[in-house]
Structure formats: structure tokens, C-alpha cells
Structure 1
């Protein structure tokens, strides 16, 4: 890939990453409730998912998923179910309350390891990500791509995603003085839980 191609790909990936979606809300919630470390771990998980999707798309494997209605539906339902599960957990946490008025790690917030898994699974179980890369990567992949070309594509996509979501995690983490208040935590869980459930429902209702 030339430098111009890398910059072009990175720009498109950045715009897509900045669009509010499941990844955005997962990182925001992790950072707000558990701090920068969890938020950045979640960002790393998302970047890992982006790398895998971009590589399999460049190899053409994701094309099989997009071409198979059954496989696409299975992944879609798994992803929707996972988002709704996270959303319901957040709503239950808001209902239970019991938040401590401290800036320390809250009991109901995800640990760094859990945040990484949430970021990775949220991205990998979103078939729309596969469709996005299948539509995008042919414009950047050579006619006969080498292994280095495929790895470069994945690395650029993952690095851009990691950079953006790490910035987001640090911005949200910097506001922890405000976010440590129990009323704010409850509001975050309520809003994020509702949005995650809504995203899950939307994925189920969307056609292929």
C-alpha cells in the first residue's frame, strides 16, 4: 500500500469509528464507570476485532458470511443478543443502585479484562462490520495481494480505531470527578443500557 492509500483508508476508518454505535457506547460506559484503564482495554478489544474483520475481509473469508443468509443471520442474532445482554445488565445495575460516592473503581463497572472482552465481542459479533470492510477494502487491496498487504490493511484499520477509542476513553476518564457521583452513574447505566438494548433490537429488525 502507498502512503496515500494508507491515509485514505485511515480517514474512512476514523469517520466510521467516530460515528455513535455499539463500540462507542461500550467504551464510554467502561471509561465512565471503571476509569481510563478499563476504557483503554475496551478500546484494545475493539481494535482487535477490527484487525480480525479487516484481515478476513481482505482474504475474502467474510464474503462467505455476507453471501450466506443463514450465517449472516446467526451472527446477527448472536451480536444482537450480546448487546441486549449488556444493556439489560446495565439497566439492572441502575435499578439496584448502591453506587459508592467515590472516584475509586465501582463494583458494578467492568474490570479491564472484562472491558477488553466486551469490546472484542461487541465488534466481532457485529456482521455490519464485515459488510463495511467488504465494501471498503476492494478499493485498497491490490489485484493479487501479498500477505504483507493484508496485514498492512488490518494494522492501519486497527491502529486508527485504537487511537480514536483510546482518546475517547481518556476524555471520559478525565471526567471521573463528575462521573463518580451515584446519581450520574445511575443515569449512565440507564442511558447506556437503553441504547445498547435499542441497538440490539435494531440489528434484529434490520434486513441483510
Structure 2
């Protein structure tokens, strides 16, 4: 792997990271309901999930998971169920609009719960694993590169993804007073919930 090829890879990764997905929505949800701390905990969970999946691919375990149809399907359907669960939670909040009770419940939410939501949204998403498996080989020379090169590429995705989520958390912090308005928050919950369920349905319908 050369610096030139790594530079090309960085451009591609930045474009992928900026595209909104389940991880982005889960982070925004927790940043809104749990403040900056909630967003940071979700980002930390997503980072760990990304690092685990990247390590699996770098060490050759990712291909084994994909080839094992029962295991891959189990991960896929776990992702479907979890995304839909989070989506329906957000939609229920938008429907009820009783954010005083929701905020009281959110204040009692444990740090582990917010971290877990981020971690599970990433690690149960087989698209992350598929991305690594489809993209990394295009930037690696089987005859010249090692597992370390694959890990560097995989960890680049995880780190840049975490940096982007941190930027989002800081942006939410800056405008949180406006986002906390009942009408705005209900609209955000409705959009977030619909998008999360949509991601879950799309994942379920994939062949």
C-alpha cells in the first residue's frame, strides 16, 4: 500500500462517512435526549463496534462470517429487529409528545444503555462488514501487503467515522435549546424513527 493509494482511499472513506446511516441517527437521538454525554457514549459504542468489525476483516475472520450463511443471517436479522425497535421508540415519542416524562426517564438512563445502543446499531449491521470486505481488497496488493495494512485501512474508517459523529454531537450541543422545542423535537423524532425503521426494512428486504 502506497501513500498515493491511501490518499485515494481517504477520499472514498470521507464520502462514505458523511453519508447518513443508522449510526448517525442513533448518535443524534442520544445527543438530543441525553445531551453531549449521551451522544459521546453512543459514539464510543459505535467506535468499538467499528473497530471490532474492522479487526475481524483485517484478520480474515470477516470473510468466514459472510460465508457462514446461518451466522450472517443471524447478524442481519438482529440488525433488522434492533433498528426497528429503536425506530418505533422514536415514533412513539413523536406520537405522545410528552417529553417531560421522557426526559426524566432519559436522565435516569445508564451510561451503559447509551453506549450499548451505539455499539449494537453498528455491530448488528452486516453492511459495515460487507463494506470492509468489498472495499479493502481494492486498495491492497495480495503479494505485497500484510494484515497490518488491512487493519490500518479498516481502522481509518472507524476513526474518521467517530470524528464525524463527534462533530455532529458538538453541533447538536450548540443548537440544543432550539432542538428541545416540542414541535421541533416531535418532528425530529418522527423523521429519525421513520428513517431507522426504513433502514431496518431495507436490510430485511435485501437478498
Q: TM-score, normalised by structure 2?
A: 0.86
| 1:83-98 to 2 correspondences below 5 Å | 83-98=83-98
Structure 1 residues 49 and 178 mapped into 2: Cα distance closer, same or farther (>3 Å)?
same
**Does the Cα contact within 8 Å between 1:14 and 1:164 map onto a contact in 2?**
no
Rounded Cα–Cα distance in structure 1 between residues aligned with 2:45 and 2:14: 16
What do the CA deviations read for 1:78-122 (whole angstroms, capped 9, x no partner)?
A: 100000111112222233332239xxx923546543222111111
| 1:13-162 to 2 correspondences below 5 Å | 13-100=13-100, 106-109=103-106, 112-143=111-142, 145-146=145-146, 148-162=148-162
Structure 1 residues 159 and 38 mapped into 2: Cα distance closer, same or farther (>3 Å)?
same
Rounded Cα–Cα distance in structure 1 between residues aligned with 2:183 and 2:92: 15
Rounded Cα–Cα distance in structure 1 between residues aligned with 2:152 and 2:134: 18
Matching residue of 2:173: 173
**Does the Cα contact within 8 Å between 2:58 and 2:148 map onto a contact in 1?**
no
**Does the Cα contact within 8 Å between 1:14 and 1:160 map onto a contact in 2?**
yes
Aligned residues: 204
Rounded Cα–Cα distance in structure 2 between residues aligned with 1:24 and 1:165: 7
Q: Which contiguous aligned blocks of 4+ residues in structure 1 show a shift greater than 6 angstroms?
A: none
Matching residue of 1:186: 186
Partner of 2:104, secondary structure, is: coil
More helix by share: 2
- Where does structure 1 lack aligned partners over 5 or more consecutive residues? none
Rounded Cα–Cα distance in structure 2 between residues aligned with 1:112 and 1:142: 42
Deviation of 1:161 (Å): 0.9
**Does the Cα contact within 8 Å between 1:23 and 1:123 map onto a contact in 2?**
yes
| 1:197-208 to 2 correspondences below 5 Å | 197-207=197-207
Partner of 2:20, secondary structure, is: coil
Deviation of 1:167 (Å): 0.6
Q: TM-score, normalised by structure 1?
A: 0.86
Pick which of 145-154 and 125-134 moved more. Answer: 145-154
Deviation of 1:150 (Å): 4.5
- Where does structure 2 lack aligned partners over 5 or more consecutive residues? none
